[in-house]
Structure 1
């Protein structure tokens, strides 16, 4: 069994993979008072609730974009597994089938997304990741990461508007029927959600023009299914792309 861990700015996701399938995908908020023992206690409890049995993963890989949390998660998993899990670092990128730009800066989750895209498409692919940040990552047919664009994610935009204004509420992320709202909630939903639809369409259009139409577009992230008007713009919508990319990297390490 493989264990891959995606430590994001909002959630930590643990994926257990065996026999060509995800046995369990566990999720917990990132920002809490983690300790090594706390990690062990949490993961034991969650594994028991998912009937994962007593067999521990033989290989574990961690991707983290939250450096302050990484040591606690790594130590906790080491305590549970009996060995230290591998942490995605620039040195590891040198062994991959893709060419990573600015390895010291780029998020390891974006690297995992790129690995998945190149492995599955072998063509120009734009990965749109709807997370805490909205990211666009372009990987060409040769596996080179050509560039990244980063914007605030949907939830981040809503929370920012709520926290920086006196009278505007924090609203649910639900796609409104109309372009303009008739009350405060629907007005915010229209502005943010239709605004993001426009942003994503424009970015896809610009990159597709750069690639003379030769472009696949895949969407991932927990919020990837909210912007329903974008469905026809994506060749694939898969919320597990980051985990799948980490799995491919872990299997390469195992080999």
Structure 2
């Protein structure tokens, strides 16, 4: 079994890959205040819930965009599984060429997603990851990671309205039936969600223009992340939603570096 760990600002996604299939995946809250022992108890309980033996884990790979949680997580993994995890970062074999001004600035999650997109889809791709922040990444057919852009995530946008406007409530991210709304909650939901759809469509349009000007075919638009389906249902801009893209990327990078 291989344990795959993707640490985001809001959630930690864990996946267990055995043979040629995933046997379990979980999403737990990212909490820098938790100790390695607290994370260890939580992970062992998840393994027990699925009747998985932690001693059968043969390898671990970890990607993270949250530096201040790494000590606890790495210590937990060494203690619970008696092995050193592969950490996605400089020096790791990925199979893609990063064309960023400073490749070390590219988030591990963006690299992992690009690896998966390149290996699985093998075409010019725009990858949209709907997480705490939403990232847009441009990947050529030959595997050159050109860069992209970063915008506030849906939940950040909703929380900002609640926190900065005295009379506006905290809302659930649900799509109202109309964009002309007759109450405050629906008005906020419509503004955030439909506005976000417009943002996605415009950014993708401009990225396609720039990539095609470089000689690429029209890019395939791939979405992932917790809120990907919410946006994809309302636009024809997104060609496919792949919720397991990051785990697939981790598995591929593990296989490239396991020796």
How far residue 234 of structure 1 moved from its aligned partner, in angstroms, is 2.2
* Structure 2 CA distance for aligned equivalents of residues 52 and 21 of structure 1: 14
- The aligned runs of 1:1-255 (5 Å cut-off) are 1-31=1-31, 33-92=33-92, 95-100=93-98, 101=100, 102-212=102-212, 214-227=218-231, 228-230=233-235, 232-255=236-259
* Structure 2 CA distance for aligned equivalents of residues 54 and 174 of structure 1: 38
Tell me the TM-score normalized by structure 1.
Answer: 0.95
For the 8 Å contact 1:6–1:109, the answer to whether it is kept is: yes
For the 8 Å contact 2:54–2:81, the answer to whether it is kept is: no
After TM superposition, the runs of 4+ consecutive aligned structure 1 residues lying more than 4 A away are none
Aligned pair count reads: 252
Over residues 76-124 of structure 1, what are the superposed CA-to-partner deviations in whole Å (9 max), with x where a residue is unaligned? 01001111211111121xx221012322211100000000111122221
Structure 2: state its 5+ residue gaps: none
* Structure 1 CA distance for aligned equivalents of residues 239 and 119 of structure 2: 15
Cα RMSD (Å): 1.3
* Structure 2 CA distance for aligned equivalents of residues 27 and 209 of structure 1: 36
How far residue 211 of structure 1 moved from its aligned partner, in angstroms, is 3.1
* Structure 2 CA distance for aligned equivalents of residues 234 and 199 of structure 1: 13
SS of corresponding position for 1:229: coil
* Structure 2 CA distance for aligned equivalents of residues 32 and 108 of structure 1: 18
* Structure 1 CA distance for aligned equivalents of residues 54 and 66 of structure 2: 30
SS of corresponding position for 1:60: strand
SS of corresponding position for 1:90: coil
How far residue 225 of structure 1 moved from its aligned partner, in angstroms, is 0.8
* Structure 2 CA distance for aligned equivalents of residues 97 and 13 of structure 1: 23
How far residue 46 of structure 1 moved from its aligned partner, in angstroms, is 0.9
SS of corresponding position for 1:141: coil
